[in-house]
Amino acid sequence: MLWTCNSHTMDIEFICLNPNCSETKISCFQCIQNGNHISHLKDVKKIENFYELYSQESNDNTILLNKFGLLIDKIKHQFQIIIDGIQLKYHKTESQYQNMNTEQINHLAFSFIEWKKDMDFIENTISGSINQLLESINLCINTLKLQQNKINSLNIQQEQKILKYELINSIKDDDIFAFAFDNVSSLIIAGYSSSTIKVFEFNQGNLNSLQELNDHNSFIYCLYFMKKSQCFLSGSGDKQIILWSINQNKQFFCKQKLQGHNDSINCLIMSENEELIVSGSSDKTIRFWAKNSQSSWNCQQILSVHKNPVNSISLNQSSTQLISCAQNENFIIISQQQVDRLFWEVISTIQVDQWGYRLCYINNLMFTFQPKSKEQMYIYEIDDKKGQFKKTKELTIKAGHCSMYFPQQYIKSKSILLNKNGNHVNLIRKLENQEFATEQSIDFGTQYIYGTMSQDGDYLITYDDQTREIQIRKIFQ
């Protein structure tokens, strides 16, 4: 593996092992020529030899730790000798005591005084030594903790440097409210305010228009591309959900219209096995749709738990719990599928200090919620004792006046959460220690931004009303 010097863009060739050196430990040839580490060049080693030195030191440390183990065993053995000796010399049973003559009693009295002196000596000598040893051990533990904290900090910094989305293409276009990628990032669908859905071929950031679909008659607000088939769902201001399928000529067609909502469709998701569709609407309801024996989708249940338009819905990893939030409602509702796997019931309501447009499950034990226009994103985790979700963290992020649509999206393979807030699209990394850190924040200068990531997280596509462009960004490491 090659590393590059930040100062000279040359390969890193040397590493300094001087314990008193405060300069950067790694250097390129130009750094050395410029005088870096000149006072202790004997401690500068070729980096290609460093792993060999590191391995040798690791072996030496293992030998030392084994010696510590033997020393601990020896100390325990010596303590046992002291304990056995005291019991043999001084401990007498009641029957032994009653059978003693006067001379033996007299001797026992002297032994008792001697025993007290011995115990005082043992306590003072050993306790003092043990306390000193414990202080030394605690010092070592604290030093190791500090080193581990430094390592964790460096790991977090490294994680934060790994990913960045850079603009690779931009295309002028009319108002778009929703996008979706297919599961291999070869197709993109875009939903327009004109009620049209356009299908694009996607090739490394380039778009080629393939088809226009015009079965809706109002704004397209949400799209969902299935992972297990070449089908997708669209939700519109015309109160309809349409299931689109593809024919032998690779042309999409309307396979079924799912009707029943009385207002705009604001959000659309599917279960992990894609046998359940969940929709949220401005009619204040959440509907669950399932296939019948003829492979048609029917409304299985209507959940009327909100009093205002539903903004966002999300299913957990096992598709057994649903979280939802609505406009002007300062709470998050958690619903759960019952054992019979047919009906959903509300099991919990979480109060929040500000209603929001976006929420998203990270896994079965954690979800995120974005309060409207706030500079904090909330993280909720299961309480081990009560088995209920509670807010455990707040992440400070870029914010501003905000608007609907553009749902949160979590890419498990990259541990990246996409979170639009105000004028900003925030790309947030979930770290190994369960903390969150903002990798990148893109300022569009307007709250009217709409977009999504590809299902593998390699691409980010957006549309905003200021540039009036489709912008495509690619991840770079």
Give the pLDDT confidence of 18-68 residue by residue, as tens digits.
888 888 888 887 888 788 888 888 888 887 666 676 677 777 777 877 787
> Do 271 and 216 lie in a common domain?
yes
The per-residue pLDDT for range 228-280, each reduced to its tens digit, is 888 999 999 999 999 999 999 999 999 999 999 999 999 999 998 899 999 99
| Domain closes at, from 162, 177, 202 | 162
Q: Is the pLDDT of residue 154 over 60?
A: no
For 125, phi then psi, to 5°, come to: -70, -55
Burial class (CB in 10 A: 0-12, 13-18, 19+), 371: buried
pLDDT at 35: 83
Q: E-strand spans in 247-296?
A: 252-258, 265-270, 276-281, 286-291
d(CA 76, CA 70): 10
Q: Could you tell me if residue 138 is inside a domain?
A: yes
pLDDT at 276: 92
> Do 350 and 251 lie in a common domain?
yes
Q: Is the pLDDT of residue 409 over 80?
A: yes
pLDDT at 1: 46
Q: Could you tell me if residue 87 is inside a domain?
A: no
pLDDT at 150: 58
> Do 158 and 180 lie in a common domain?
no
Q: Could you tell me if residue 324 is inside a domain?
A: yes
Q: Could you tell me if residue 310 is inside a domain?
A: yes
* Cross-strand partners of 419: 426
Q: Is the pLDDT of residue 453 over 90?
A: yes
**Cβ of 83: how many Cβ atoms within 10 Å?**
10
Distances (CA, A) of 260 to 195, 200, 253, 285, 302: 19, 30, 21, 10, 10
Burial class (CB in 10 A: 0-12, 13-18, 19+), 139: exposed
Where is pLDDT greater, at 399 or 394? 394
d(CA 368, CA 370): 7
- Mean pLDDT score, 202-223: 94
Task: Read off the tokens for 225.
Answer: 């591309």
> Do 151 and 172 lie in a common domain?
no
Q: Could you tell me if residue 92 is inside a domain?
A: no
Whether the CB-CB separation of 109 and 102 falls below 8 Å is answered with no
> Do 156 and 174 lie in a common domain?
no
> Do 335 and 360 lie in a common domain?
yes
Q: Is the pLDDT of residue 283 over 50?
A: yes
Q: Is the pLDDT of residue 152 over 90?
A: no
- Mean pLDDT score, 58-79: 77
Strand 197-203 versus strand 187-192 pairing type = antiparallel
Q: Is the pLDDT of residue 308 over 70?
A: yes
> Do 54 and 189 lie in a common domain?
no
Q: Is the pLDDT of residue 374 over 50?
A: yes
Q: Could you tell me if residue 372 is inside a domain?
A: yes
> Do 135 and 271 lie in a common domain?
no
Between 41-55, 280-294, 407-421, 458-472, the lowest mean confidence (pLDDT) is in 41-55
| Domain closes at, from 162, 178, 193 | 162
- Cα 475 → chain centroid: 18
Q: Could you tell me if residue 100 is inside a domain?
A: no
> Do 214 and 153 lie in a common domain?
no
**Whether the model pTM is above 0.85:** no
> Do 244 and 304 lie in a common domain?
yes
Domain count for the chain: 3
> Do 235 and 275 lie in a common domain?
yes
> Do 133 and 33 lie in a common domain?
no
* Residue-range definition of the domain harbouring residue 137: 110-162
pLDDT at 294: 79
Between 44-53, 85-94, 155-164, 395-404, the lowest mean confidence (pLDDT) is in 155-164
pLDDT at 260: 93
d(CA 145, CA 363): 30
Distances (CA, A) of 178 to 170, 221, 315: 16, 6, 20
Q: Please report the sign of the dihedral spanned by the C-alpha atoms of residue 362, residue 367, residue 372, residue 377.
A: negative
Whether the CB-CB separation of 408 and 370 falls below 8 Å is answered with yes
- Mean pLDDT score, 63-92: 75
**Cβ of 127: how many Cβ atoms within 10 Å?**
10
pLDDT at 20: 86
Q: What is the mean pLDDT of the chain?
A: 85
pLDDT band at 142 (very low <50, low <70, confident <90, very high): confident
Q: Could you tell me if residue 104 is inside a domain?
A: no
| Domain closes at, from 100, 133, 162 | 162
Q: E-strand spans in 306-352?
A: 310-315, 321-326, 331-337, 344-351
pLDDT at 199: 95
CATH number, domain of 212, equals 2.130.10.10
d(CA 208, CA 220): 20
